[in-house]
Amino acid sequence: MSKPDKIKSARVSVLGAARSGIAVARLLRSKGASVFVSDKKPREQAGQQIQQLDEIGVQYEFGSHSDRLFDADFIVVSPGVPSNLNLVQHAIKVGLNIYSEVEVASWFCKAPIVAITGSNGKTTTTTLIGRIFENSGRKTVVAGNIGFPISDYVSGTDEDAVAVLEVSSFQLDHVDTFKPKAAVLLNITPDHLDRYENYQAYMNAKFRIFMNQTAGDIAVYNHDDDAVDKYCRDLKSTLMPFSVKDEASSTGFARDGKVYLMEKGQPVHLIDTKEIGIPGVHNLYNSLASALAARALGVKMEVIAETLHEFRGVEHRLELVRQLNGVKYINDSKATNVDAVWYALGSYDSPIVLIAGGKDKGNDYSPLFEPVRKKVRAMILIGAAAPKMQKEFSDKTKCIMATSMEDAVAKASIEARKGDVVLLSPACASFDMFQDYEHRGREFKRLVMEL
């Protein structure tokens, strides 16, 4: 049952009452569905959610999941609910369809969808693409895994608007008819291996962004990522690969300090790389992907170039917090995997005091050994992963254990010398100590400003 004309008579259970769960419950109720929400959070901690659900007019339970959850035509799961959870597996076993919030919302989205996924760079690229469309004068919704459920916005979309969505592997696990007009795959590196059986299963989840596309749709992908390139060659979509290494096989590429897009078989200069507002080779890839996606949907080259020049990045991604006593403090809390930290370390020439740790996701830290040995003056380690990371890195640099973010910031400020960078780039999830990476980043910034 993945057609909106059947929603009015549907009984739907929503598993998880976080932002996306509340949003999809509200959307489905507005379309006439009978909705039931189930969340394991203790009722005494769910005051805000209960108030919202009462306003929507749906039934709910908190504190545990009863069999009522399965008395439904289908179930919508929040991204935080693992696919291997016994409840989810039982629902599949008894024949219930499982959908993500982004799948359900897409049934009602009249605007063309530009969807962005990848292990790293999703939020920056999603925000940048949204800014390009906004600057072109087009009504734009930026939502999805970026923190704003698309279910809250679809009712206001029409064919002249555009919906720019960051989509995670967890959301893609449970799509069925989701069909972006332009799908962007930035890269794939090992991540979330605590949630997937193996690396291939994680890659397969990312590839689902393309599964319903046809020749009239666009696939924007990283030609320099071997796994991505190998998969995307055989897609039915119109292919738009981007590269900083191989211009001959790319629709967008960088050469000799300039960015080019192919137009009618000829390379057209878009912008000089030094004019792009967000530095680093990883952001060059993000900029190429953004430019191709926007151009594919008709945005003028000059609007794209101007936006690339003025865009300065997003919060919690290599964000300069302050400079104090000659030391730069950088918030990269969104770096929740090893590859993101690898790029972060490569973005600075100065010695680094690195604050890292949190909830380990089955990480292999070996790609960081050499850059840590060469660039990191000291590592300040926090959270559940700290003992593992100390064991991995103690022969590469000085490792210091910290009991809290406050302790970490204080110890980092002692270790740092004039000209150094204190970099929060955890390589881990935040849920052992914080609500999410945003909470972690805000705490870091608050503590740095109090130094």
Q: Each residue of 116-145: b (16+ CB within 10 Å) or e?
A: bbbbbbbbbbbbbbbbbbbbbebebbbbbb
Q: Are residues 297 and 165 in the same domain?
A: yes
Q: Is the pLDDT of residue 269 over 50?
A: yes
**Which CATH number belongs to the domain containing residue 140 in this structure?**
3.40.1190.10
Do 399 and 367 lie in one domain? The reply is yes
Q: What local confidence, expressed as pLDDT, does residue 3 receive?
A: 59
Position 329 pLDDT exceeds 60: yes
Same domain, residue pair 156 and 305 = yes
The answer as to whether 340 is a domain residue is yes
pLDDT at 174 over 90: yes
Residue 426 lies in a domain: yes
Are 248 and 139 in the same domain?
A: yes
Q: Nearest Cα to 289, choosing from 191, 183, 196?
A: 183
On whether residue 2 sits in a domain, the answer given is no
Convert the pLDDT of each residue in 301-315 to its tens digit.
999 999 999 998 888
Query: From the CB of residue 90, how many other CB atoms can be counted at a distance below 10 Å?
Result: 13
Amino acid at the residue 166: E
The pLDDT, as a whole number, for residue 192 is: 67
Tell me the whole-structure pTM to 2 decimals: 0.82
Given 46, 61, 95, the domain boundary residue is 95
User: Is residue 4's pLDDT more than 60?
Assistant: no
* pLDDT surpasses 90 at 82: no
DSSP three-state, residue 221: strand
Mean pLDDT of 169-197: 89
User: Are 396 and 325 contained in the same domain?
Assistant: yes
For the segment 140-158, the average pLDDT, to the nearest whole number, is: 91
pLDDT at 326 over 50: yes
Q: Kindly report the CATH number assigned to the domain that includes residue 48.
A: 3.40.50.720
User: Above pLDDT 70, what percent of the chain?
Assistant: 98
> Per the domain annotation, does 430 fall within a domain?
yes
Please check whether residue 3 lies inside any domain of the structure: no
Range of 39's domain? 10-95
Catalytic residues: 122, 145, 192
User: Percent of the chain scored above 90 by pLDDT?
Assistant: 84
The CB density around residue 315, as the number of other CB atoms within 10 Å, is 14
Half-sphere exposure of 17 (CA within 13 A, CB side): 28
Last residue of a domain, one of 72, 95, 118: 95
| Mean confidence (pLDDT) of the chain | 94
Residues 345 and 200 in one domain: no
**Within-domain flag for 4:** no
Q: What is the pLDDT of residues 98-136, one digit of tens each?
A: 999 999 999 999 999 999 999 889 999 999 999 999 999
Q: Is the pLDDT assigned to residue 1 strictly greater than 50?
A: no
Q: Are residues 442 and 324 in the same domain?
A: yes
Asked whether residue 435 is assigned to any structural domain, the reply reads yes
Q: Are residues 206 and 239 in the same domain?
A: yes
Same-domain check for residues 25 and 43 = yes
Do 188 and 272 share a domain, yes or no? yes
**Domain's final residue, options 77, 95, 113:** 95
- 83 pLDDT tier (thresholds 50, 70, 90): confident
How many independent structural domains does the chain possess?
3
Is 5 inside any structural domain? no
- 189-226 pLDDT tens trace: 876 667 788 889 999 999 999 999 999 999 999 999 99
Same structural domain, 139 and 15: no
CATH number where 413 lies: 3.90.190.20
Mean pLDDT score, 342-360: 93
Residues 135 and 223 in one domain: yes
Which of these, 440, 411, 445, lies nearest to 322 by C-alpha position? 445
